[in-house]
Structure 1
Amino acid sequence: MSTESKLKLKVIIGSTRPGRVGPSVANWVNSGARDHGGFEVELVDLAEIGLPLLDEPNHPAMQKYENESTKKWSAVIGDADAVILVTPEYDFFAPATLVNALQVIAVEWKYKPVGLVSYGGISGGLRSAQELRTLISNKGAMPLPNVVPIPMVFPLLEDGTVKANDPMKDGLQGLFDELVKWGQALKPLHSA
């Protein structure tokens, strides 16, 4: 696939908690996206963006951001053709940092496909993913129905690397394929 036809995919590490495994999971997603060939991939860590909790004085729809962290985040999502949110499940819900990242900006999300890779205990973070799918659609983005859950994530980590099983690999490839389809279809809408 030529560089011109590749979609700009942002892989977002949704947890900022110390000791998190999000970077390991996101590195696996990032590597798979690069191997897929349909994307120009950028790995983005919310911990490095450093978004305070809803601290902008103006409504996000106005895009009159005053804080550098919000401006940086706006540029990241504004430049995306597609997004994958890598999320844990905290107390049967998405992390507050990721919810905040979705809510602190508005227009930048419109008409973009958003995939989810969730991880956690026995549920694989699916409850977190389902809650996020509702919020994503409320932002005017397209949450893809196929989520890649990673149940019991800790035994799958070896020296900070995810040792994915075949269902995980197949699920991730399916998510990439869907992101390409939706991303190509929606690109004219968010690029207008």
Structure 2
Amino acid sequence: MPKIAIILSSTRTGRAGANVAQWVLEQARRRGDADYELVDLAEADLPQIDEPLPPAMGRYTHPYTQQWAATVAAFDGYVIVTPEYNHSFPGALKNALDRVYAEWNNKAAGLVSYGVDGGVRAAEALRPVLGAPQIADVSATVTLNLRTDFADFGASFTPGEHQGPALTQMLDQLLTWTEALAPTHNTQAAVTA
């Protein structure tokens, strides 16, 4: 069964994303078609990139980078839960994506964004960034609006009825791409090992 990480990219205190990621995790696990696991960037606690060599070389010197590489490599695909900050995604997510390289290669990702306008600009800003480490993002996206899917500007999360089918569509696409890419990323992992 494929292993899918649900990456919670906000590290802010009181973040709305924790409830969003939990909702995604609960809905995904009900499907029974993959092993879904939450990966919280606040718990990963990655400092700004401080490796002496470029990540593409795969020679990580710091224990936290080595741990992050092992975490990323353990999954076959990803659901990235991201807020929109200033028309983009959080710096903690960019740092996590940039820190390792081959571990992301030839895997698929689905996006769940949230913000005043559903976080759509964060999702769109993220798509070209995902291409650099060879992550294939699926087209179906879940966009959660702070005005309609949350109360008290993010304090309480109650997704609209249409969000469940949107999540199902995104997860369907993600699993299709994850399964299609599995032989490729397994071959790549064997080559870089």
Q: Does 1:84 align with 2:79?
A: yes
Correspondence for 1:152:
146
Could you tell me which of 94, 98, 105 is aligned with 2:100?
105
Correspondence for 1:17:
12
Paired residue type of 1:102: L
Task: Measure the CA separation in 2 of the matches of 1:136 and 1:84.
Answer: 12
Count of matched residue pairs: 186
Task: Measure the CA separation in 1 of the matches of 2:147 and 2:103.
Answer: 31
Paired residue type of 2:139: P
Paired residue type of 2:128: T
Correspondence for 1:130:
124
Within 5 A, what are the aligned runs for 1:24-39? Answer: 24-39=19-34
Q: Do the aligned residues in 1 keep the contact of 2:6 with 2:21 (CA within 8 Å)?
A: yes
Within 5 A, what are the aligned runs for 1:22-61? Answer: 22-61=17-56
Paired residue type of 2:113: S
Paired residue type of 2:129: L
- RMSD of the TM alignment (CA)? 1.7
* CA positional deviation for 1:156: 2.5
* CA positional deviation for 1:180: 1.2
Correspondence for 1:7:
2
Q: Does 1:166 align with 2:161?
A: yes
- Deviations, residues 34-60 of structure 1 (Å, cap 9, x unaligned): 011111011010010011111111110
Q: Percent identity?
A: 37
Between stretches 175-184 and 158-167, larger displacement belongs to: 158-167
Q: Do the aligned residues in 1 keep the contact of 2:149 with 2:157 (CA within 8 Å)?
A: no
Query: SS of 1:145's equivalent?
Result: strand
Between stretches 71-80 and 155-164, larger displacement belongs to: 155-164
Task: Measure the CA separation in 2 of the matches of 1:153 and 1:10.
Answer: 27
Structure 2: segments with no counterpart, 5+ residues: 188-193
Task: Measure the CA separation in 1 of the matches of 2:177 and 2:77.
Answer: 8
Task: Measure the CA separation in 2 of the matches of 1:52 and 1:59.
Answer: 16
Task: Measure the CA separation in 2 of the matches of 1:154 and 1:71.
Answer: 40
Correspondence for 2:114:
119
Could you tell me which of 66, 72, 77 is aligned with 2:67?
72
TM normalised by structure 1 equals 0.91
